[in-house]
Amino acid sequence: MSKRDYYEVLGVTKGASDDEIKKSYRKLAMKYHPDRVSGLPDAEKKQAEDKFKELQEAYAVLSDAQKKQMYDQFGHAGVGGNSAGGGGFEGFSGGGGFEDIFDAFGDIFGGGRRSQRNPNAPMKGSDLEYTVQITLEESALGLEKEVKFPRTEKCGTCDGKGSKKPEDVVTCKTCNGVGQVRFSQGFFSVQQPCPDCHGRGKAIKNPCSDCRGSGLVKQNKTVKVSIPAGIDNGSTLRLTGEGEAGLNGGPNGDLYVHVTVKQHGFFERRGKDLHCEVPVSFVIASLGGEVDVPTLNGGSVKLKVPEGTQTNQVLRIRDKGVKALRGITNGDMYCHIFVETPVKLSSEQKELLQKFGDVAKHNSNQHPKSQSWFDKVSKFFK
């Protein structure tokens, strides 16, 4: 079976920098590390373990400048060809030329090489993300909202130890408690987590029936999220300790709640301000007057329309916007006016309008825009 391109394995392009390669390796190693998948079904766990080995093999080459150059020039043949299938475990002594791999991986779990020599060091749980959708009214006023999601928690039956009896947890015989074994791969070797204890350094003779020895179980969790007044679309709230359970007594990860605000049927929010379209009759637009405009709290406010108001004119109502997140003062409401032309007029209305038109057509001061337009057009016909 042909081997995958090492750059493809690490999810980077061939021109990726050393930092990009290392960052991608850390991210994928976190995802497929045996301790992270120990609670999965055997088939999925085996796939993750194979993927983890593939990641280590790829990083062992691409993190070494000399081997990377050989690989770029000759492909897999330049770094051992297809001999990865041969060989086996060589023993458990330290040393070797691939300690930088475990420095990168050790950073994920807190502490570089030292933490790798202690497979039972506390490890923080993974962070979780959740998206919640709220209305514009809720974003302006704030609310408390329940979110439900699955997460990994410490097994309550064995208290996260993997076995009900402490004496059932023994030192792994394969790695002698180190948690790492050295794997021969062609003309070089790679250190990797022990396949029997998954890097923990300990084996369980009588695993807990609920968590199958992992110390972790999947549970549905309900958390109340306090969404503050003034929160805007795209904001993120962090709930410390509400993520996945940690390992070996490590702290839980965090929960990141991404807030999206539904599009409103009348208002559009721009920062602290609200914008809306307000229809006005041509009578009020001509003579001036007041119209009722709804507000986010369910009430209404009077908008004063000055005499001679035109379509697309914007009128402001102070302090009727929303507060910014953790702000004190409200923004303003901006009303974009459009003047409605009446339809289905009665004979009497038409007659009155006609009389108005006859009187007004000779007074250009009453229609400044029309007169301006007429003057511009007239220039083309002179």
Q: What is the pTM of this model?
A: 0.59
Does pLDDT of 145 surpass 80? yes
- Lowest-confidence pick of 46-60, 281-295, 359-373: 359-373
- Tell me 246's DSSP state: P
Q: Which domains does the chain carry?
A: 1-76 (1.10.287.110), 123-157+213-263 (2.60.260.20), 165-205 (2.10.230.10), 267-340 (2.60.260.20)
CA distances 229 to 145, 320, 361, Å, are 13, 15, 53
pLDDT of residue 43: 82
Q: Which pLDDT tens digit goes with each residue over 309-319? A: 999 999 999 99
Q: Which of 9-23, 86-100, 294-308 has the highest mean pLDDT?
A: 294-308
- Tell me 343's DSSP state: -
Question: Is the distance from CB of 191 to CB of 182 less than 8 angstroms?
Answer: yes
Q: Which amino acid is at 370?
A: S
Q: At 84, is the pLDDT very low, low, confident or very high (cuts 50, 70, 90)?
A: very low
Q: Which pLDDT tens digit goes with each residue over 185-237? A: 555 667 777 877 777 788 888 888 888 888 888 999 999 999 999 999 999 99
Does pLDDT of 83 surpass 60? no
- Within the chain, where are the H helices? 6-10, 18-32, 34-37, 42-62, 65-74, 99-108, 112-117, 136-141, 282-287, 347-360, 368-379
Does pLDDT of 380 surpass 70? no
Does pLDDT of 114 surpass 90? no
Query: Distance (Å, rounded) from C-alpha 294 to C-alpha 302?
Result: 9
Q: Which pLDDT tens digit goes with each residue over 148-179? A: 999 989 888 888 888 888 888 888 888 888 88
Residue 34, number of CB atoms within 10 A of its CB: 19
Q: Map tokens 């109340």 to a residue.
A: 224
Higher pLDDT, 258 or 169: 258
pLDDT of residue 99: 43
What is the token pair recorded at 44? 């999925």
Give mean pLDDT, residues 13-28.
Answer: 87
**Of 39, 6, 5, 40, which is closest to residue 25 (Cα–Cα)?**
6
How many CA atoms lie less than 13 Å away from 182 in the CB half-sphere?
A: 14
Give mean pLDDT, residues 127-142.
Answer: 94
pLDDT of residue 123: 81
pLDDT of residue 295: 93
Does pLDDT of 258 surpass 90? yes
Higher pLDDT, 206 or 268: 268
267 burial via Cβ count (<10 Å: 0-12, 13-18, 19+): buried
Residues written for the chain: 382
Residue 296, number of CB atoms within 10 A of its CB: 21
Q: Which pLDDT tens digit goes with each residue over 32-65? A: 877 677 667 778 888 888 888 888 888 888 888 7
pLDDT of residue 39: 67
Q: Map tokens 């190693």 to a residue.
A: 29
First to last CA, the chain: 85
Give mean pLDDT, residues 22-32.
Answer: 85
pLDDT of residue 85: 35
Query: Distance (Å, rounded) from C-alpha 366 to C-alpha 309?
Result: 12
Q: Which amino acid is at 13?
A: T
Does pLDDT of 249 surpass 60? yes
Max CA pair span of the chain: 107
Mean pLDDT of the chain: 81
- Tell me 371's DSSP state: H
Residues 6+ apart with CB under 8 A from 117: 178
Does pLDDT of 361 surpass 50? yes
pLDDT of residue 64: 81
Does pLDDT of 257 surpass 80? yes
